Amino acid sequence: LDANSFFNGINNTPKPNSHRNQFGFSVGGPVYIPGLYKQRNKTFFFFNYEGHRENDPLTAPLSTTPIGAFRTGDFQALLGSNIGTDALCRPVLAGQIYDPFTTRSVTATCNVPNPNGPGNVISVGQTVLIRDPLANNDLTNAVNGIDPVGQQLINFYPQPINNSISANWSAAGLGANNSNEYSVRIDHNLSDSTRLYGRYSRKLEFKDEVPAYWGATDPAGPGQRNPNNRYSFGFGASHVFSPTFTVSGNLGLVHWVEGNDLQSKGFKSSSLGLPSFIDTYSPQFPVISATGYLGEGPLQGAGQGAFPRSDATGSLDFVKVKSRHQLSFGYMAIALTENGGRFHPTSFNFDSTFTSGPDPGSFIAGGTGDAIASMMLGTPASGATGVAVSQISRQWLHGVYLQDDWKATRKLTLNLGLRWEIPRPLTDRLDRLARFDYNAVNPISSAVGGQNYLGQLVFATSGNRGQYDARYNNFAPRFGFAYQVMPKLVMRGGYGVFFPRQYPGTPIIPGYSSETPYVASIGNNNVPCSGCMLSNAFSGGLVPIVGNSLDGLTNVGFDVTAVSPERKTYYDQQWMFGFQFAPTNNDVIELSYVGNHSVHVVTSGFNLNQLDAKYLPMGNALDNQVPNPFFGHITSSGCGLDQPTIAQGQLLRPYPEFCNIGENLIPGGDGHYNALDFNYTHRVSHGLTLLASYTFSKFLDNVGGPTTWANTSGNFSENIRNVYNLAAEKSVDPNDITHAFVLSYVYELPVGRGKKVGAGMNSVLNPNRFQWFNPAAFAPAAKWQLGDAPRYFSDLRAPGYNNWDMSIQKYFPVHESIRFQFRLDMFNAFNHVNFYKPDTNFGSSQIGTLNASWGPRQMQAALKLYW
């Protein structure tokens, strides 16, 4: 009775077989061993086991794979109508492929009109860059011909499933999710006032993060399996000193290993024509992205390997009751440890940068060029390989609290509390961490002379081991109240500051690991340098491992992943005010206002070496080559700092001796959530239980909201347009849902023994209504301009979500202490298609289209024995 997915249906893809089996049992009671241990009221045990075996049907989103002609270098199918003329009076066709190695400066002999207003964007006599079009879009006519590595990469793509040049590939697969889990617990009463417990849990899990959509033997496919095994211990004791004073203590350890087992594990990149050292340090298929097309290799840049992690916890809690006060106070400590690591994936990113034209920096270039053509000609826009390092990191978290629950009057209860959070900085057992000091004078200044260049990496020492400074000002006050206005009407409210447990961040260990960038161009991003070809990638070898021997000169000439010493702590301010009214004994109505202010939300994607927007009016002059003051002092670089000349724009950056500076988990976000909540609950009467809720809300922020398990930005890499003006990033959050309605009910049908006509039926209804956008309303920002569109438009929404989950259950009594339950569950019972958000990748042939949906109807039957 399971249904096929919507896109499987329209692409004539058969419904994959789906199997899910869940089984288990639990048993508990007093420990009684005849002849050995007979104290039934002293020691108790509990044991449970659960097994899970599942093959979940998954469908890859509708995507684009290269057609057969493209694989031979024939891109004539892309050619469209005339969209203008170039500076040499030549016609420009939509979809035209240009030869990147013909890029040169010329004097314009024709005016090129401005399509968006009066005047010209290029005038006669002006010096501009220009490229030559490839006749009939035949890549074999290019100066350097087809790159052999590019040819190898395109041959790994799956074949199209239809005759279209876009939206021509989708596939169905099965994602395995198998696990065995068990727990055992012993409780022992030493006396009526003292109790002990101990617990051990174990889970062995194996799941497919991404199915092998391309076939299990295809190394370029995205298949990714994640073994995730864990165990935990817990011990605790409590003692009642008096009827008004109790103490409890707990110790715990959780250890788990997150593995990454890639479909391409062991792949040798040398078989593609890349350097053989990649086989050693990156033994997997390269991560390939191509704008507008399907990617190759592991998704999300995954690397083969495993991360063992553990959390050790301890707490001591006291409760004292005095008069109308119940005081709770205590201490908590957590030690987070992470070991291991993964191989550094080799990656290449292709777009139309080098195959567009005629002037690669002009407005008209947006309608020309192609990412796969760039691949075939061997001109990636960027790429990297490297050597990863295993981390041995730890962070301590401490917290103390005091809470007073005060029954002030018969009608008024107050909750007063204060918590002090003390997160210690992340450390490395071998003291290899580094932070970035933005104000320190870099040692290269003395070699270059004439100017103090700011910014340098500072390595940990035995006296200052932390990745960042400790913070001792994380105080979190809480206040709440409940007041009985009338016998059936209660008013509630509260305010609190909360410091969610946070991911400490990836340890920054420069010098002990290395990343070697692919150099696509020297001087500016329009002209590929001589020898900058995919088949010549990383010809200079890997950036060497130097440890901390270079001190402040570490990573000069390359990108830097930075951590500021003054990293602030993310926290939430939350408040609410509302009423609860009970019109009858079976009905409760609640109306409340809820607010949240998120401060210092952590995110990534900040390039703190971004050129200040005040220089953008200089336009193409920022690409002008000028003498490089670092030449001879920087001998290797990922952005041309080792060349005699350098682009003017590089020297105007705040830290010109570096390429890009990306801060790791920068606490730069700010968010506001306000909501009006309405809830109606009808308790059991005539066999019916019902819960209806409606929320009207608005969620605004300048980075993605803290929605992940690590309390980091939901959109982890924000790609901030202007790091000097975060206010321009403020918009609705991607998780903003203005209207949300949920209806849940359970109805005991009057059918069966003892009923009028026992079975039970319940359901959940969750409808929301939104609409998507028209991509024709958008255009790319011109070079040297910042886009003026907000991060997200409040009136441009993803499609709505409408879902019914239903369950029917029947109990079969066998004995007064034994009964069976049979249950039939239906997820998306009416098989309503719920689309994902539309494609929003500018430059994609599918922008604005819906190419994936949530799961179709699934049904499962369950049998349970109560004894």
pLDDT in tens, 777-787: 776 676 677 77
pLDDT, tens only, 437-452: 999 999 999 999 878 9
Residue 428 belongs to some domain of the structure:
yes
Residue 707 backbone class (left: φ over 0; alpha: ψ -120 to 50; beta: rest): alpha
Residues 832 and 699 in one domain: no
| Choice among 162-171, 295-304, 431-440, 686-695 with the minimum mean pLDDT | 295-304
367 shares a domain with 395: no
| pLDDT over 50 (residue 768) | no
Which of the four pLDDT bands, split at 50, 70 and 90, describes residue 733? confident
| pTM given for the model | 0.80
Q: Residue 770: pLDDT band by 50, 70, 90 thresholds?
A: very low
Res 505: pLDDT = 67
| Top-confidence residue, 524 or 291 | 291
731 forms beta bridges with: 701
Q: Name the domain boundary from 327, 357, 388.
A: 388
Q: Out of 388, 418, 449, pick the residue that ends a domain.
A: 388
Task: Check pLDDT > 70 for residue 416.
Answer: yes
pLDDT of res. 414 = 97
**Residue percentage of the chain with pLDDT more than 70:** 90
Least confident of 101-105, 119-123, 537-541: 119-123
- Please check whether residue 643 lies inside any domain of the structure: no
Average pLDDT over the chain, rounded to whole? 86
Residues 690 and 810 in one domain: no
- Check whether residue 357 and residue 401 sit in a common domain: no
At 61 the pLDDT is 77
Is the pLDDT at 132 greater than 60? The verdict is: yes
Q: Lowest mean pLDDT of 154-163, 298-307, 671-680, name the range.
A: 298-307
Whether residue 492 lies inside any domain: the answer is yes
pLDDT score of 234 more than 80: yes
Q: Which residue has the higher pLDDT, 1 or 640?
A: 640
pLDDT in tens, 361-374: 665 656 899 999 99
Residue 636, in any domain of the structure: no
Question: Is 603 within the bounds of a domain?
Answer: yes
743 with 801, same domain: the answer is no
Q: Which of 67-71, 241-245, 766-770 has the lowest mean pLDDT?
A: 766-770
Distance CA 148, CA 134 (A): 19
727 pLDDT higher than 90: no
Answer yes or no: is pLDDT of 846 > 70: no
**Residue 843: pLDDT band by 50, 70, 90 thresholds?**
low
Same domain, 671 and 797: no
Chain mean position to CA 263: 21
Q: Are residues 445 and 428 in the same domain?
A: yes
- Rounded CA gap, 320 and 329, in Å? 9
Residue 576 or residue 816, greater confidence: 576
Domain end point (choices 369, 388, 407): 388
Token pair recorded at residue 499:
């410091």
Residues 690 and 811 in one domain: no
Does residue 301 sit within a domain?
A: no
| Long-range CB contacts (within 8 A, 24+) of 778-787 | 778/842, 779/366, 780/366, 780/842, 780/843, 782/363, 783/361, 783/362, 783/619, 783/620, 784/616, 784/617, 784/618, 784/619, 784/620, 784/622, 785/616, 786/613, 786/616, 786/721, 786/722, 786/728, 787/721
Asked if residue 408 has pLDDT above 60, the reply is yes
- Burial label, 832 (beta-carbon count in 10 A; 0-12, 13-18, 19+): middle
Cβ(290)–Cβ(297) below 8 Å: no
pLDDT of 483: 97
The tokens describing 715, both together, are 């959109």
Co-location of 587 and 691 in the same domain: yes
Residue 850's domain spans which residues? 771-866
Chain segment 197-225, per-residue pLDDT in tens: 999 999 999 888 777 777 767 888 888 88
Residue 612, number of CB atoms within 10 A of its CB: 12
Within-domain flag for 308: no
**Same domain membership, residue 559 and residue 417:** yes
Total number of domains in the chain: 3
What is the rounded average pLDDT of the residues 827-842?
78
Tokens of 673: 């959530």
Whether residue 33 lies inside any domain: the answer is yes
pLDDT digits (tens, 9 = 90+) for 517-566: 998 886 556 677 767 789 999 988 999 999 999 999 999 999 998 888 88
> Is residue 375 domain-shared with residue 402, that is, in the same domain?
no
Whether 714 and 833 share a structural domain = no
* pLDDT tens-place string over residues 313-345: 999 999 999 999 999 999 999 999 988 788 899
Task: Kindly tell me if the per-residue pLDDT of 380 is higher than 60.
Answer: yes
Question: Which range, 111-125, 241-255, 534-548, is most confident?
Answer: 241-255
